[in-house]
């Protein structure tokens, strides 16, 4: 089984696709750029969604649901926004099919042409702000803190499961505020929630920063991002939170009567993470044996494998172990298959990234112990059966921490400084990873660097120091280093 | 506030729309037939979804996600299915917009016409069975028990919030089995799950039955339904579970190698409930003061209102009560508003259908009690503050049971037998409700009755007795009474 995966060294892209397929996470579909999320992949998404949903609710947000379709004219109302999305959207033009009079199956019924075309939402700012106009009258209606879990469609030319697909699942928060300060605080707070989720649950270290003007969301005044580093040295934008100023309020004429009795435009944020996170999760931790999952997001945290096969005596002990784990909220599977050999099963569970495997044979039971294998380091060790629940619980915490520490040290090893273009290119070509360098702050330089090296400014880190320097490209003055990388 | 609702007697349809709007459940959208589900309405859907999801998982199902788009040619593959859905679907024909060369905003880019049009899924049998072809090879891959939570689109001509909308949210289960018997058992088992959910959680009594051939799902050999009765005497089809035979397996060539080493077509079921259930919930329990919610699905089960307004002493006691309720898993809101009068607030919470309201004033505290009002009967009674958690918990159970009993007795009062057409029409016109009557079993008679009376056969109840009789319409022999009603 494991042998069927291409190694990272041989072909990183193929390794990723192999894991997606062989771990049962997703499948291609007959619809260009759309994937089928298989039960195991969807179970990971459910864990992510439930945790994020909890964090959003704890910070005062509620969920709602807005239409899938957006009237074409809405898209044009915010100038930058339309520029960002009109070129990659699915357009509904008709509402009916009919039998082909020539007998060739079904054709679009020309009589059923829509008066105005509908766009399948690429994101929902426009339809939501059109709705907020009716919901917001006075400062008493603010803030409005709404999130939506939904599917969206962007007609991408090059797609890759989870990382970039035509249809994807996501959450999009859309909040409305009475002051600029409050909206900016909201965008920053959600940025922090995203970083906390990435690090504490995905065990994926992220850099928190702001996007350059050029890399901002279409229609935003400020875009905060969390940027992660994948094992091929490329960066992944994992979540963004936008301060939208009054752009959408003005485009859709959303005003409120302030507590000083003045009519003002509303201030906005929007923010989202998507099934792309699953791609990040895979590429942060997995290895040449398959998927590696942090325990907090693993649908099954522990698998118990009777050795060499299930029998009543072993199953009795397996059930007891499972009960002790379940008592602690640990999800556990007992392998009841009596056809395949243990070696085959071990490879299978490694492929699926189950954090802990417990092997249980007759001699183990005689010795009042079991053999525990951790997926992250592949170490095996005997555990006494007394108090197995607590021991496994401690082990799962340790795996979670180890994965984070490992990813952090990978990132540290792959974060370099460059003081000139020669160094910059050398790092990108030979080592990859984040490159910290001075930049003169102009879009012109940013675009030239991108053109020449394919590296983009991932972000201006929130904790970047103010320091004098010269731009690696233009030689002009710079006041801060920024973070470059080639990216997904 | 309450005065703003039209009474049921005056105009039942308007009463329904008033509740949807004033309780903050949903709003119209600029997209024809699509609604915005507001936070309060969505919170009810979340409670429904979480409970159903739990029941599906307990019965062995897992979730997955399939593409929103279905290639046009897929629809045609199952003959009855295409007949059922081709006439009411949103068709994506292009993948890009462009600036109108004449300067009139955006137009569809003619260069971006798709080779094959895509249908926005009205239901997912076709795309799912196309996928199952790759997933199912041997009897060892069966059964496949998959559910999907998704949005679907059916281009309805007449829409009404929740009850019938162009886009709606639902779950659709799609299972694959090696034998006809197993698939039939699955369809029946889910039918039972739906009935249990409707009765135990929605407190909405349902009749379990099978649809007539004429009323079956497009492509099904058997459709099981749960039918509920609304307060205007009309029936609501609340959930259906279909035995699909081998129709989709044959259309998409899904075969498996049986344990006897023979290649056979796979057997299928599909089943779904949708946001329509929220419409059923509203119309089963609500009254002229607003929404009435069963405690098990109420986002907020108890509201505590300080009287006449919050002050530190009252809030201290309110917090203590809230803590005791939360300990028991009861969701509770403390009203902290100090602007509106209690009377206004009471009407507001009645409108929202919060099952229990606790009024708390200084004199109450002196007497170590509070005033408890239940939404279902509008009774008020003093409750001692000692052990308030247990008392409220018992009260919530009582409300849940009372709502179910009340709906059941309404249904009993509105279920009549008719032995001839004159009686049949008289009942429909003057009393409404379910009419139990003999039918000769032919589609011809069924359609004539529908044409003449607008009543349809809701179902052949699973517990209908075998009894000789004559059809009320044709006078021909009948072996069973069936259940008629006018329906949503």
Q: How far is A70 from chain B (nearest CA, A)?
A: 7
The three-point CA angle A433-A438-A439 to 5° equals 105
Distance, CA of A123 to CA of A127 (rounded, Å) = 9
> Are A297 and A202 within 8 A, CB to CB?
yes
Q: How far is B55 from chain A (nearest CA, A)?
A: 16
Architecture of domain B300-395: 3-Layer(aba) Sandwich (3.40)
Chain B CB contacts of A120 under 8 Å are: 68, 92, 120
Chain B CB contacts of A106 under 8 Å are: 72-73, 75-76, 82, 86
CATH of B415-485, one of 3.40.50.150, 2.60.40.10, 3.40.50.300, 3.30.110.30: 3.30.110.30
Identify the bridge partners of residue B92 per DSSP, sorted by sequence position.
A92, B118
At B264, list the tokens. 């056979």
Q: Indicate the class that CATH gives domain A11-285.
A: alpha beta
> Which of A27, A88, A151 is closest, CB to CB, to B68?
A151
Distance, CA of B198 to CA of B238 (rounded, Å) = 8
Q: What is the pLDDT of residue A1?
A: 44
Identify the bridge partners of residue B357 per DSSP, sorted by sequence position.
B303, B373
Query: CB neighbours (10 Å) of residue B300?
Result: 18
Distance, CA of A47 to CA of A280 (rounded, Å) = 15
Which residues of chain B does CATH 3.40.50.800 include?
300-395
φ/ψ (deg, to 5) at B303? -120, 135
> Are A207 and A263 within 8 A, CB to CB?
no
Chain B CB contacts of A45 under 8 Å are: 65
> Are A326 and A304 within 8 A, CB to CB?
no
Q: What is the pLDDT of residue A104?
A: 80
Name the packing angle between helices B276-285 and B39-58 (round to 10°): 110
> Are A467 and A479 within 8 A, CB to CB?
yes
User: Residue B80's closest CA among B186, B215, B177?
Assistant: B215
Q: What is the pLDDT of residue B78?
A: 80
pLDDT in tens, A19-74: 999 999 999 999 999 999 999 999 999 999 999 999 999 999 999 999 999 999 99
Give buried/exposed letters for A197-228 (b at 16+ CB in 10 A, else e).
Answer: bbbebbbbbbbbbbbbeebbbbbbbbbbbbbb
- The SS3 of residue B445 is helix
What count of residues does chain A have? Answer: 488
Whether residue B94 and residue A93 make contact (CB cut-off 8 A), yes or no, is yes
Query: CB neighbours (10 Å) of residue B10?
Result: 10
Confidence of residue B7 (pLDDT cuts 50, 70, 90): very high
Query: CB neighbours (10 Å) of residue B425?
Result: 17
CATH 3.30.930.10 holds for B2-63+127-285? yes
φ/ψ (deg, to 5) at A56? -65, -45
Chain A CB contacts of B126 under 8 Å are: none
Give buried/exposed letters for B169-195 (b at 16+ CB in 10 A, else e).
Answer: bbbbbbbbbbeeebbbebbbebbbbbb
Residue-averaged pLDDT of chain B: 96
> Are B209 and B227 within 8 A, CB to CB?
yes
- Whether the link from the prior residue into B467 is cis, omega within 30° of 0, is no
DSSP A282: H
DSSP B182: H
Query: CB neighbours (10 Å) of residue B63?
Result: 19
Q: How far is B452 from chain A (nearest CA, A)?
A: 29
Name the packing angle between helices A421-430 and A443-453 (round to 10°): 40
Q: Using a pLDDT cut of 90, give the percent of chain A over it.
A: 94
Distance, CA of A21 to CA of A41 (rounded, Å) = 10
At B95, list the tokens. 């993948």
DSSP assignment of A395-457 equals HHHHHHHHHHHHHHHHHHHTEEE-SSHHHHHHHHHHT-SEEEEE--S-HHHHHHHHHHHS-EE
CATH 3.30.110.30 holds for A416-485? yes
- The SS3 of residue A138 is strand
User: Residue A172's closest CA among A274, A252, A42, A55?
Assistant: A274
pLDDT in tens, B471-483: 999 999 999 999 9
Whether residue A27 and residue B96 make contact (CB cut-off 8 A), yes or no, is no
Average pLDDT (B186-199) is 98
Half-sphere exposure of B95 toward its Cβ, with a 13 Å CA cutoff? 20
Give buried/exposed letters for A249-264 (b at 16+ CB in 10 A, else e).
Answer: bebbebbbeeeeeeee
Confidence of residue A4 (pLDDT cuts 50, 70, 90): confident
Residue-averaged pLDDT of chain A: 96
Which residues of chain A does CATH 3.30.930.10 include?
11-285
User: Residue B117's closest CA among A116, A165, A92, A86?
Assistant: A92
Q: What is the pLDDT of residue B1?
A: 44
Chain B CB contacts of A66 under 8 Å are: 29, 36-37
pLDDT over threshold 70, residue B27: yes
Which residues of chain B does CATH 3.30.110.30 include?
415-485
Q: How far is B235 from chain A (nearest CA, A)?
A: 27
Which residues of chain B does CATH 3.30.930.10 include?
2-63+127-285
Confidence of residue B36 (pLDDT cuts 50, 70, 90): very high
Whether residue B64 and residue A90 make contact (CB cut-off 8 A), yes or no, is no
pLDDT over threshold 90, residue A466: yes
Cα of first residue to Cα of last residue in chain A, in angstroms, is 28
Q: Residue written as tokens 């936070």?
A: B39
Half-sphere exposure of B351 toward its Cβ, with a 13 Å CA cutoff? 23
Residue A323 to residues A298, A318, B295, B461, Cα–Cα distance (Å): 18, 9, 32, 42
Which residues of chain A does CATH 3.30.110.30 include?
416-485
Confidence of residue B2 (pLDDT cuts 50, 70, 90): very low
> Are A248 and A129 within 8 A, CB to CB?
yes
> Which of B46, B67, B146 is closest, CB to CB, to A29?
B67
C-alpha B274: how far from chain center = 5
pLDDT over threshold 70, residue B3: no
Confidence of residue A2 (pLDDT cuts 50, 70, 90): very low
Q: Which of A93, A97, A110 to mutate to test the interface with B (most CBs of B within 10 A)?
A: A97
Distance, CA of B54 to CA of A217 (rounded, Å) = 38
Whether residue B36 and residue A131 make contact (CB cut-off 8 A), yes or no, is yes
Q: Name the CA dihedral angle for B64, B66, B68, B71, rounded to a multiple of 10 degrees.
A: -170
At A388, list the tokens. 């197995």
Alpha helices in A291-386 (DSSP H): 312-327, 342-352, 362-366
> Which of A63, A96, A106 is closest, CB to CB, to B76?
A106
Rg (CA), chain B: 26
How do A69-71 and A62-63 pair as beta strands? unpaired
User: Residue B15's closest CA among B232, B165, B183, B169?
Assistant: B232
Half-sphere exposure of B382 toward its Cβ, with a 13 Å CA cutoff? 9
Chain B CB contacts of A82 under 8 Å are: 106
> Are A178 and A256 within 8 A, CB to CB?
yes
Burial class (CB in 10 A: 0-12, 13-18, 19+), A62: middle
Half-sphere exposure of B476 toward its Cβ, with a 13 Å CA cutoff? 8
Element (H, E) at A177: strand A167-177
pLDDT over threshold 80, residue A199: yes
Distance, CA of A416 to CA of B158 (rounded, Å) = 62
pLDDT in tens, B116-137: 999 999 999 999 999 999 999 9
Confidence of residue B103 (pLDDT cuts 50, 70, 90): confident
Whether residue B42 and residue A64 make contact (CB cut-off 8 A), yes or no, is yes
- The SS3 of residue B291 is coil
Q: pTM score, two decimals?
A: 0.97
DSSP B101: T
Average pLDDT (B281-290) is 98
């Amino acid at each position: 089984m494991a042998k069927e995966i291409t190694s990272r060294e041989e072909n990183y892209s193929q390794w990723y696709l192999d894991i997606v397929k062989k771990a049962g996470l997703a499948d291609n579909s007959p619809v260009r750029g759309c994937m089928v999320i298989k039960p195991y992949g969807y179970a990971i998404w459910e864990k992510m969604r439930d945790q994020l949903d909890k964090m959003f609710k704890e910070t005062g947000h509620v969920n709602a649901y807005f239409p899938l379709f957006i009237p074409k004219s809405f898209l044009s109302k915010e100038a930058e926004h339309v520029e960002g999305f009109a070129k990659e959207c699915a357009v509904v033009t008709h509402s009916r099919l009919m039998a082909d009079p020539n007998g060739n199956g079904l054709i679009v019924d020309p009589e059923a042409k829509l008066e105005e075309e509908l766009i399948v939402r690429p994101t929902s700012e426009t339809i939501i702000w059109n709705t907020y106009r009716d919901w917001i009258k006075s400062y008493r209606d603010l803030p409005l803190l709404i999130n939506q879990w939904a599917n969206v469609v962007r007609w991408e030319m090059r797609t890759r499961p989870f990382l970039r697909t035509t249809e994807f699942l996501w959450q999009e928060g859309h909040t409305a505020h009475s002051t600029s300060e409050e909206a900016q605080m909201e965008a920053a707070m959600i940025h922090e929630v995203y970083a906390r989720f990435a690090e504490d649950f995905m065990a994926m270290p992220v850099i928190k920063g702001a996007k350059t003007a050029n890399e901002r969301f279409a229609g935003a005044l400020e875009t905060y991002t969390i940027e992660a580093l994948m094992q091929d040295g490329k960066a992944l934008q994992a979540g963004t939170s936008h301060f939208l100023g009054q752009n959408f309020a003005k485009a859709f004429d959303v005003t409120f009567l302030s507590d000083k009795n003045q009519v003002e435009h509303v201030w906005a944020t929007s923010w989202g993470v998507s099934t792309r996170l699953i791609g990040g999760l895979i590429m942060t931790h997995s290895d040449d044996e398959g998927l590696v999952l942090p325990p907090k997001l693993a649908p099954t945290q522990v698998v118990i494998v009777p050795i060499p096969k299930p029998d009543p005596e072993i199953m009795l002990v397996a059930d007891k172990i499972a009960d002790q784990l379940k008592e602690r909220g640990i999800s556990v599977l007992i392998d009841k298959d009596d056809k395949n050999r243990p070696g085959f099963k071990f490879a299978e569970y490694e492929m699926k990234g189950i954090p802990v495997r417990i092997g249980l044979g007759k001699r183990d039971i005689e010795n009042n112990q079991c053999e525990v294998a951790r997926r992250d380091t592949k170490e095996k060790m005997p555990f006494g059966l007394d108090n197995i629940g607590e021991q496994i619980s401690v082990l799962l915490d340790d795996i979670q921490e180890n994965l984070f520490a490992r990813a952090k040290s990978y990132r540290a090893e792959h974060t370099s400084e460059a003081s000139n273009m020669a160094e910059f290119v050398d790092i990108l070509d030979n080592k990859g990873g984040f490159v910290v360098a001075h930049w003169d702050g102009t879009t012109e330089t940013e675009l030239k660097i991108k053109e020449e090296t394919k590296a983009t400014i991932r972000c201006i880190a929130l904790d970047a120091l103010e320091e004098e320097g010269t731009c690696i490209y233009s030689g002009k003055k710079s006041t801060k280093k920024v973070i470059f990388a080639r990216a997904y």
